[in-house]
Amino acid sequence: MDILTTSKIKDLTLPELLFDYAALEPNISKDTMTYHHDKHHAGYLKKLQEGLKDTMYIESNLGELFSKVDSLPDNVQKIVKNHGGGYWNHFLFWNMLSPKSTKTPPEDLLALINSSFESFDSFKDVFTTNAGGVFGSGWAWLVVNSENKLNVVTTANQMNPLMKGEGKPILCLDVWEHAYYLDYKNDRASYISNFWNVVNWDFVASLI
């Protein structure tokens, strides 16, 4: 999350994965991780920096641009929503994944989930339903709102909750076809189901 406020757009780099490209198999394949990280994520970074290089916004950080995105000039707004969102959403997503998933959250996070959704299984059902219901390309998110309650929200394309003032994201799932089509073809439901096998709950809990 630190890159939201500590790194200028011009200084952003493509982060290395914290695990081997094949480490999430059979849930997410080596081929998918390679293309997703090396091509798609790298592409968002390149287009973000190229698009803003001749503007004053290249000296800004993503946090400030996300918070005022709707008031930015139209051309800048498009770059920030599409490529700024694409860069940061994926930066967060990689940290959400782990080949050593604990399958259940730490106690403090689990208690917060239970208070917001009645049970962990109920939360998973709500998140799964929302992720599966995204029309076309987008993301599903678990956010902490201003009342310290958890909500599940979705965004289209590369938008994220920070752009819409919906809360602080602590869990996300990419449901663009590029995230799963090599492995699951059009079976998004199986991709979402297997996502639960590789969630890095310790990282999620650290964001609260």
Report the pLDDT averaged over residues 153-158.
98
Q: What is the pLDDT of residue 103?
A: 86
pLDDT value of position 185: 97
| 31 annotated ligand-binding residue | no
Round the average pLDDT of the chain to a whole number and report it: 97
Residue-wise burial string across 60-74, b where 16 or more C-beta atoms lie within 10 A, e elsewhere: bbbbebbeebeebee
- pLDDT tens digits, 53-101: 999 999 999 999 999 999 999 999 999 999 999 999 999 999 999 999 9
The whole-angstrom separation of Cα 92 and Cα 173 is 10
Q: How confident is the model at residue 2 (pLDDT cuts 50, 70, 90)?
A: confident
State yes or no: 41 annotated in a binding site.
Answer: no
Average pLDDT estimate for 166-194: 98
List domains and CATH numbers for the chain: 3-10+29-96 (1.10.287.990), 107-206 (3.55.40.20)
Query: Is residue 174 a known part of a binding site?
Result: yes
| Average pLDDT score over residue span 26-32 | 98
In sequence order, the 6+-apart residues with CB closer than 8 A to the CB of 68 are: none
**With pLDDT > 70 as the criterion, what percentage of the chain qualifies?**
100
The pLDDT of residue 14 is 97
Is the predicted pLDDT of residue 3 greater than 90, yes or no? no
Mean pLDDT of 128-156: 97
| Mutual angle of helices 120-132 and 188-195, in 10-degree steps | 150
CB 146 within 8 A of CB 167: yes
40 annotated as a binding-site residue? no
pLDDT confidence of residue 1: 58
